Structure 1
Amino acid sequence: MATPSISLDPADDVIRRLSENCARPFENALAMPPDVYTSSDFLAREQRDIFRREWLCVGRASALAEPGDYLTADIDGQPIAVLRSEDGTLRAVSNVCLHRMSVLLTGRGNVRRISCPYHGWTYRLDGALNGAPMMDRQPGFCKESYALPSVRCETWQGWIYVTLDPAAPPVSAQLAELTPLIERYGMTSYIETFYEEHVWDTNWKILAENFMESYHLPMLHRATVGPHSKLEEMECPPGRSAFNYHWITKEASLPIGNAHPDNTRLQGHWRKTTALLSIYPTHLITLTPGYFWYLVLQPLGVNRVGICFGGGLAPEFIEDPRAAEYMATLKQLLDEVNAEDRRGVESVFRGVRAPLAKPGHLSHLERPNYDFARYLAGRLSA
């Protein structure tokens, strides 16, 4: 009689408990088990089964407006560069030199050529090798045989996505159910006006979940946006396979929170309705009639998360003479909200590590968290 195989991967036990929790109906759903946030083995499975396979947002296309504009990102140890080529197209390539494998570009900026800081090999904006100092003395060297490996790169609603998976369906197909839900906002035309990077001491999923639900607004954000958020009018529909979302009506605490008078795209209640979008695994967007802001998350271990934080204005407010004033007011508010969120999510991470930590029932306003847990369980148990 054959002996049943026994898994030696500690992540399997965490995934099993997560899956059992997700099998409960939403009306009796619990928060995710603490090990989901604290287990390094679980994070390794996320890297293998999610981050190396999914489309990951790396920024806003409007931030790369001119030829030579670039941004950099990292997918589970693979440095990526996205560049605007001379012909106006966006291309993503491996951000690693083909000589001695130095990282080429850092941060964001503009270049005429990609230049290796180690030995000076240079590449054109399409990734082809342009020059290699003194390599003509090596008979076996052929410059034409060198080109930075391409990485799949697509855009959706003005966002740039990349993936290491050659078999992943197009972004537009994965988000086909989301497009008609938010198309009336015209998000493609929104312009990014600020961008920052931060590192917080929490697990990436705790920050993602914090963004997904507005149940915490009256308490955690009582000094900022909490009093202006009408939880009784909030709608949290069931999520879809690639995203979850909810709608919230906000009072006009900021003029740009509602539609500009010149905005003819939005009518009726849509002129004051905010969409909160969580595109799996790590792209989080607050989309209002007048502005947007977003987070893109990258795990840096179970206890640290890298955050790309940006935002901007709808075209009507960009063209408004008071655009700079509106943006300054918005940025000040978002900085205050972020400070409140940081305190909250870092406190939760301290709590989930406690020996007596135990997940409780979710509220009806935390439907997105339930859907996110089911997404994780589905990707990791497959």
Structure 2
Amino acid sequence: MSPDQPVAELLAAAARPLEDARAMPPSVYTSPGFLQREIETIFSREWLCVGRSSGLANPGDYVTCDLAGQPVVVLRDREGQIRAFSNVCLHRMSTLLEGSGNARVIVCPYHAWTYGLDGKLRGAPFMAQTTGFCKHDYALPEIRCEEWLGWIYITLDRDRPAVASELGALERMIAPYRMENYVECFRETHVWDTNWKVLAENFMESYHLPVCHADTVGGHSKLEEMECPPGLRAFNYHWITKEASLAIGNAHPSNTRLEGHWRKTTALLTLYPSHLITLTPGYFWYLSLHPKGTGQVAITFGGGLSPEFMEDPKAQNYVASLKALLDEVNLEDRGCTEKVFRGLSAGSARPGHLSYLERPIYDFMQYIAERTAGFDRSFALAAE
């Protein structure tokens, strides 16, 4: 395959009008060269979500991740601030922390060089005879880190506009939920055998719910009432009315913030490139995606409750029910998205027309084309 083939095919697909739109061509999912272009133009430059700030409640709480080849640790320091640092020791360049947890200091597992929660080197054994060494010259490089409505984002781009400036329109749209007060109750990491865009697209359309999720949430979603407005610069979204499969899917009786249809309306949000949120009146869940090759995706998965349900005496039961449901939903989605990747990898695979219920996929395709190939989607920004 020519390295230019995925770009040419994507630009042709993105230029089609919505009424005649087709899915993205297989080459943009399977080409290693195109994935490298995505790393350089998207994941090295955009804001990526690592979870909720409520998940790092105490000084020393941390999570780790890889962002475009850079190991990163995100933590709450002793002053209560959320900060992000390179997760690579400044001595022999071992990675430092793994997974998530709580640490009073950061200790390198190779030679025990020790850093404070401010990233500064605190101790380095057996370095006294190295005359050129001064521990005050060493501090872990800081990674840009911001909070928005309770979410933590990081970026490698020092010139990227602030998160809030890019998501102001979305903040106004979802203001009635007061998402900033929702509390994360669980967070996990997974790796699935599919392309990151396949999973992102699966999340951002509800067309598949009655089929893929027939045994869980499919029967509770009214596709005929679903609204799929045009996406904006940094995100797309759609609304769906649900008769809740869980009590927490609708507003808690003590919730006086939400009125009328808002009390049973779910927002499905795709914050580009790969932060995916289902926001209901009573709970939320999310995925944050990062590619691990063309055929694997690293997933941060989490969820939790609105403040009214967190204050309910049955809060832990609600959390357990939510987690059990989402584990089933994820199992169903994994099966569907891994089948899609196997199918689109076949030589005979051809993209078909999109349903009007898949409008967010059309907007996502144009976003990918803009970032990777210079596609002009300015016509789509009039509503912003």
Q: What is the TM-score normalised by the length of structure 1?
A: 0.97
Match of 2:215 in 1: 223
Pairing partner for 1:67 from 56, 59, 68: 59
Q: Specify the SS of the correspondent of 1:331.
A: helix
Instruction: Tell me if structure 2 keeps the 8 A contact 1:10–1:41.
Output: no
Match of 2:178 in 1: 186
The letter of the residue matching 2:68 is D
Residue 10 (structure 1) shift? 3.6
Task: For 1:342-361, list aligned pairs within 5 A.
Answer: 342-361=334-353
Instruction: Tell me if structure 1 keeps the 8 A contact 2:5–2:27.
Output: no
Runs of 4+ off more than 2 Å: 9-13
Match of 1:165 in 2: 157
Match of 2:68 in 1: 76
For residues 149-193 of structure 1, the C-alpha deviation after alignment (integer angstroms, 9 at most, x for no partner) is 010000111110000001100000111111101111011111111
Match of 2:190 in 1: 198
Task: For 1:20-39, list aligned pairs within 5 A.
Answer: 20-39=12-31
Match of 1:153 in 2: 145
Q: Specify the SS of the correspondent of 1:178.
A: helix
Pairing partner for 1:276 from 250, 268, 272: 268
Instruction: Tell me if structure 1 keeps the 8 A contact 2:235–2:270.
Output: yes
Task: For 1:1-382, list aligned pairs within 5 A.
Answer: 10-382=2-374
The letter of the residue matching 1:220 is C
Structure 2 unmatched runs, 5+: 375-384
Distance in structure 1 (CA, Å) of the matches to 2:344 and 2:8: 18
The letter of the residue matching 2:271 is I
Distance in structure 2 (CA, Å) of the matches to 1:340 and 1:289: 24
Distance in structure 1 (CA, Å) of the matches to 2:212 and 2:95: 40
Q: CA RMSD in A?
A: 0.9
Instruction: Tell me if structure 2 keeps the 8 A contact 1:49–1:379.
Output: yes
Q: Specify the SS of the correspondent of 1:135.
A: coil
Match of 1:4 in 2: none
The number of equivalent residue pairs is 374
Residue 113 (structure 1) shift? 0.5
Distance in structure 2 (CA, Å) of the matches to 1:15 and 1:135: 52
For residues 241-284 of structure 1, the C-alpha deviation after alignment (integer angstroms, 9 at most, x for no partner) is 11100000000221100000111111110010000001111110
Instruction: Tell me if structure 2 keeps the 8 A contact 1:247–1:273.
Output: yes
Distance in structure 1 (CA, Å) of the matches to 2:75 and 2:327: 29
Residue 11 (structure 1) shift? 3.5
The letter of the residue matching 1:346 is E
Instruction: Tell me if structure 1 keeps the 8 A contact 2:120–2:138.
Output: yes
Q: Percent identity?
A: 65
Match of 1:3 in 2: none
Distance in structure 1 (CA, Å) of the matches to 2:233 and 2:271: 10
